[in-house]
Structure 1
Amino acid sequence: MQHTATNWVYTILNSLAGLFVIAVIAGLIWVMVMYVVDVTQSKHTVRRNYPVIGRFRYLFEHMGSFFRQYFFAMDREEMPFNRAERAWVYRAAKDVDRTLAFGSTRDLRPVGSIYFVNCAYPTRGEDAVAPSPLTIGPYCEHPYTTASLINISGMSYGALSKPAVRALSKGAAKAGCWMNTGEGGLSPYHLEGGCDLVFQIGTAKFGVRDEKGQLSEERLVAVASYPEVKMFEIKLSQGAKPGKGGILPAAKVTQEVARIRAIEIGEDAISPNRHPEIANAAGLLDMVDQVRRVTGKPVGFKTVVGDTQWLAELCELILERGIESAPDFITIDGAEGGSGAAPQALLDYMGMPIRESLPAVVDLLSGYGLRERIKVIASGKLIVPSGVAWALCMGADFITSARGFMFSLGCIQAMQCNKNTCPTGITTHDPKLQRGLDPLEKSDRVANYVFNMTYDVGMIAHSCGALEPRQLRRKHARMETHSGRSESLEHLYPTVASGAYVEHMKIFEPSEP
């Protein structure tokens, strides 16, 4: 009897051992199959660069919905972009369902929270119209007319990888928006997709500099000869590091990047902190005039606003010289902007955020009677429909985003942009990591992001009773105040009458101590 029981135990153990071996073999076969599947597919960058292991990211992301109340931060607590914002961009880029269940995870109480004012009789779908086109540079030989709401902000080839630039170019062409080259010059990959381009002239003048590093009119003409190049943007400063020029670490200065920028291979590319020719309002208007005269295309400038007095002086000089002397657009970058390398002292503490600077600039231009002449482009963490709709309410004509489009390419906010180790291949020149980013596949996601952003901003506008997004005004939004009650943006930021610049300037004068 005992012998029989022992045999029975041995039989069970042998069966279990056999099942274990079969399970291990099956597991190994599954791993090999999934490895092949992951490295050959092109939809998911993380899985392609990190086969099999990358699949756990999606499992953890899904399980986080169930465990976050016990172990993890809530949707809105992560920085610089929280999970809710990133998730919306991912869904928009993949063109999948963007609805949610069980209510908003957004805290509606903090001071500064924005609410949109729904209309009792919202715009019906059949009455809604597409965003209206605007013309930039009416005094130019070649003005630029576009209806695009959301566009790709300045990100250089060098800061971005080749496949990332190619994907953005192709995606922008599909979506009908423009792409800013960033200060790193015009690469073949910007032109490859056939999209509209804004050529950025940084302080180092990469791509349009002569042997001495000065602005070359001959090279300006060469760049302007491309029909894809629609406008030129003179960069005074950018959100991440106002007061300091661009920073491209040596690890990212490849032979091709060095050739396009006309710099040395393997050395840090650090731009001057300002254009030597621009020391005042006259110098800025002179460069705007020079570039516009040579190229025949609209010219504006990009800046982070801290002090507004210099803008007032600029407006006064424009009125002296004539309205045609004005820049064709101003890009306002908030202090919260910036996708690349920046010193923390500037990243955290320098410049005004877009919420404060945008209305200040719009009102100042209105006060000088220049609001219609100078188009306003807003930039700085405006990656979801609510941010874009707010900017339109405050008076922006266009919105640009860098990190929103990086998310549409598959960025996972690893915060490795300055180290050449980006796991999704977006900001690295490592061929092994770039391999995971398929330009054709990701270009569709770029276009989807633009289409769905425009649709959802339109949905907000229609709920407010407007026919299209560009009809949004300050009366259509409210802000939570310290009193615990919200107030209309129209009341908090009263519209300045056109031409009332003398009275308007009193707003910016320091109060008596």
Structure 2
Amino acid sequence: MDLDMGFALRAIEIMAIAFIALLGLLALAGLILFLIDRSQRGDAIRRNYPVIGRFRHLFSELGEFFRQYFFAMDREELPFNRAQRDWVGRASKGAGNTVAFGSTRNISVPGTPIFANSAFPPLNDMYAKTAPLEIGPHARMPFAAPSIFNISGMSYGAISKPAVRALSKGAKKAGVWMNTGEGGLSPFHLEGGCDIVFQIGTAKYGVRNETGGLSDEKLKEIAAHETVRMFEVKLSQGAKPGKGGILPGAKVTPEIATIRGIPVGQDSISPNRHPEAGNYDELLDMIGHIRELTGKPVGIKTAVGSVDGMEPLFEAIDARGAEHAPDFITIDGGEGGTGAAPMPLIDLVGMPVREALPRVVDMRDRHGLRDRIRIIASGKLVNPGDVAWAICAGADFVTSARGFMFSLGCIQALKCNRNTCPTGITTHNPRFQKGLVVEDKIDKVAHYAQAVIKEVETIAHSVGVAEPRQMRRRHVRIVQADGTSVPFNRILPSYNPPEAAE
């Protein structure tokens, strides 16, 4: 008994000494931090409030987490709120995507689209699947694009190897195309066997010669792949108009460097435009050269700063003839996404897609090019209502990048530029990539694409037409500042030749 009591007292004594030592170490650490904070000159808060001022940075970092999970309402967050992300999450699981009780959306917000349901919608046996639409009638190998909804440009580099593999295989399963983004064509794009749109960025990664110009031989090599259906010349991107692509050096792995033809570990910054295309005539020359060389449709991607600024493009086409026109134009809204861009460009440059899209559509139609140039809409169009609005506005196709990222499991951590994406989508760190299981994500990518198309068809049937491409601006109303809604075709009437009816 005495031995046990002695052992217990000794243990208590040791713990007391350890506790006092710990307090001493904490006091010493606090004193050191106090002296460091008081003497440093870079942070006014830490200098004026030594030690405790450090908690401000900690709480600022944690605030992002707490706001997303505990404080933000379902319709509050940006760039995508929880309701938008949750819809994609449910759709990608292939589960039922119905909700109960009523909408949580405030439909009195100005700009909200409200679709005009028909009193006599088509019966089930009157429904029609959206037929493939031909792109590039003047190319030797036109592309009959089967889907109205497709994957927008995301380069291998901006997103990870498993993400590219899952998207490629999921796109094949859903029957949608996949845009490579400006980082070149990797084996992982080809792995799934899906239709591919090869994007030619201003740095011409994957098709550049020693001087940074277009390499005809490399273009032919890319075009030789049967699944590469089209080429897209990227003029600008909605998230950073006037600025070339940016891939931080931390994401430039040896494999990515080889595909792009750049040094390992160095920032990859593309020129802000194609040097050989300083005006629309030179751009049409470039498009014609690529189309003749590859035999495949060639289009452009651009953010719109001013619709009037695009008039010279159509005038140049008029002067040369419709056969010289780009086969498609992708309109990327100023609200579009990116892996890395300067904040002023993300926030303040480029017209929103909801303003730019219908105006460019009307300009194309006024020049009689409706059946010649296809319009692709892009920029924060991730849910069926967004896609249906774009079709009503005149888009022939819609593409999304971030919607498909959500289908892969993106949680909107806003760390795409840091190589620390916790879901493995935009990082090349194997520790995080292991969380993205390709075999699991293939079906989720396919389910998401199929769900969007199915529900856009549902909206089309509700407004009284057999399939989505029959929707017009008269089928959607836009909420005004006074809370009332006005038909879209009254706000911005579609252009129709004299012999056509609205």
TM-score scaled by structure 2?
0.85
Match in the other structure for 1:371:
370
Q: Do the aligned residues in 2 keep the contact of 1:163 with 1:426 (CA within 8 Å)?
A: yes
Q: Which runs of 5+ in 2 are unaligned?
A: 1-64
Distance in 1 (CA, whole Å) between partners of 2:448 and 2:356 is 26
Deviation readout 1:25-69 (Å, 9 max, x if unpaired): xxxxxxxxxxxxxxxxxxxxxxxxxxxxxxxxxxx99xx9xxx9x
Deviation readout 1:131-158 (Å, 9 max, x if unpaired): 1210000011000002201100000001
Match in the other structure for 1:417:
416
Q: CA deviation at 1:101?
A: 1.2
Match in the other structure for 1:276:
275
Q: CA deviation at 1:499?
A: 8.9
Alignment of 1:389 onto 2:392: no
Deviation readout 1:413-432 (Å, 9 max, x if unpaired): 00110000000000000011
Match in the other structure for 1:292:
291
Amino acid at match of 2:383: V
Distance in 2 (CA, whole Å) between partners of 1:87 and 1:415 is 17
What SS does structure 1 have at the residue aligned with 2:452? helix
Distance in 1 (CA, whole Å) between partners of 2:294 and 2:110 is 46
Q: CA deviation at 1:84?
A: 0.4
Distance in 2 (CA, whole Å) between partners of 1:289 and 1:498 is 28
1:94-113 residue pairs with structure 2 within 5 A?
Answer: 94-113=93-112
Alignment of 1:458 onto 2:454: no
Distance in 1 (CA, whole Å) between partners of 2:395 and 2:78 is 25
Match in the other structure for 1:311:
310
Distance in 1 (CA, whole Å) between partners of 2:387 and 2:76 is 21
Distance in 2 (CA, whole Å) between partners of 1:498 and 1:246 is 40
Amino acid at match of 1:295: T
1:161-180 residue pairs with structure 2 within 5 A?
Answer: 161-180=160-179
What SS does structure 1 have at the residue aligned with 2:477? strand
Q: CA deviation at 1:370?
A: 1.1
Deviation readout 1:322-364 (Å, 9 max, x if unpaired): 1100000000000000131010010000000000000110011
Q: Do the aligned residues in 2 keep the contact of 1:368 with 1:498 (CA within 8 Å)?
A: no
Amino acid at match of 2:235: L
Match in the other structure for 1:444:
443
Match in the other structure for 1:5:
none
Match in the other structure for 2:242:
243
Distance in 2 (CA, whole Å) between partners of 1:483 and 1:420 is 45
Match in the other structure for 1:346:
345
Q: Do the aligned residues in 2 keep the contact of 1:132 with 1:470 (CA within 8 Å)?
A: no
Distance in 2 (CA, whole Å) between partners of 1:413 and 1:346 is 20
Q: CA deviation at 1:168?
A: 0.2
What SS does structure 2 have at the residue aligned with 1:479? strand
Q: CA deviation at 1:497?
A: 2.7
1:316-331 residue pairs with structure 2 within 5 A?
Answer: 316-331=315-330
Match in the other structure for 2:59:
none
Alignment of 1:144 onto 2:143: yes
Match in the other structure for 2:485:
486
Amino acid at match of 1:377: I
Q: CA deviation at 1:380?
A: 0.4
Match in the other structure for 1:219:
218
Q: CA deviation at 1:484?
A: 2.8
Q: CA deviation at 1:223?
A: 0.3
Match in the other structure for 2:259:
260
Q: Do the aligned residues in 2 keep the contact of 1:142 with 1:298 (CA within 8 Å)?
A: yes
Distance in 1 (CA, whole Å) between partners of 2:390 and 2:308 is 22
Distance in 1 (CA, whole Å) between partners of 2:403 and 2:125 is 30
What SS does structure 1 have at the residue aligned with 2:79? coil
Alignment of 1:334 onto 2:333: yes
Q: Do the aligned residues in 2 keep the contact of 1:424 with 1:437 (CA within 8 Å)?
A: yes
Q: Do the aligned residues in 2 keep the contact of 1:231 with 1:298 (CA within 8 Å)?
A: yes
Percent of aligned pairs with the same amino acid: 60
Name the stretch that deviates more: 312-321 or 325-334: 312-321
Q: CA deviation at 1:73?
A: 2.3
Q: Do the aligned residues in 2 keep the contact of 1:339 with 1:402 (CA within 8 Å)?
A: no
Distance in 1 (CA, whole Å) between partners of 2:295 and 2:146 is 21
Name the stretch that deviates more: 368-377 or 399-408: 368-377
Distance in 1 (CA, whole Å) between partners of 2:317 and 2:271 is 27
TM-score scaled by structure 1?
0.83
Amino acid at match of 1:455: K
Amino acid at match of 2:471: L
Amino acid at match of 1:200: Q
* Change over 3 Å in CA distance of 1:499–1:247 after alignment to 2: farther
Match in the other structure for 1:35:
none
What SS does structure 1 have at the residue aligned with 2:421? coil
Q: CA deviation at 1:176?
A: 0.5
Amino acid at match of 1:170: K
Amino acid at match of 1:107: N
Match in the other structure for 1:115:
114
What value does the CA root-mean-square deviation take over the aligned residues?
1.5
Match in the other structure for 1:429:
428
What SS does structure 2 have at the residue aligned with 1:302? strand
Distance in 1 (CA, whole Å) between partners of 2:288 and 2:497 is 25
Amino acid at match of 1:190: H
Q: CA deviation at 1:371?
A: 1.8
Distance in 2 (CA, whole Å) between partners of 1:303 and 1:489 is 24
Q: CA deviation at 1:110?
A: 1.2
Paired residue total: 434
Distance in 1 (CA, whole Å) between partners of 2:164 and 2:318 is 40
Q: CA deviation at 1:123?
A: 1.8
What SS does structure 2 have at the residue aligned with 1:408? helix
Q: Do the aligned residues in 2 keep the contact of 1:243 with 1:273 (CA within 8 Å)?
A: yes
Distance in 2 (CA, whole Å) between partners of 1:209 and 1:430 is 28
What SS does structure 1 have at the residue aligned with 2:71? coil
Q: Do the aligned residues in 2 keep the contact of 1:366 with 1:499 (CA within 8 Å)?
A: no
What SS does structure 1 have at the residue aligned with 2:209? coil
Q: Do the aligned residues in 2 keep the contact of 1:410 with 1:424 (CA within 8 Å)?
A: yes
What SS does structure 2 have at the residue aligned with 1:487? strand
Name the stretch that deviates more: 90-99 or 71-80: 71-80
Match in the other structure for 1:72:
71
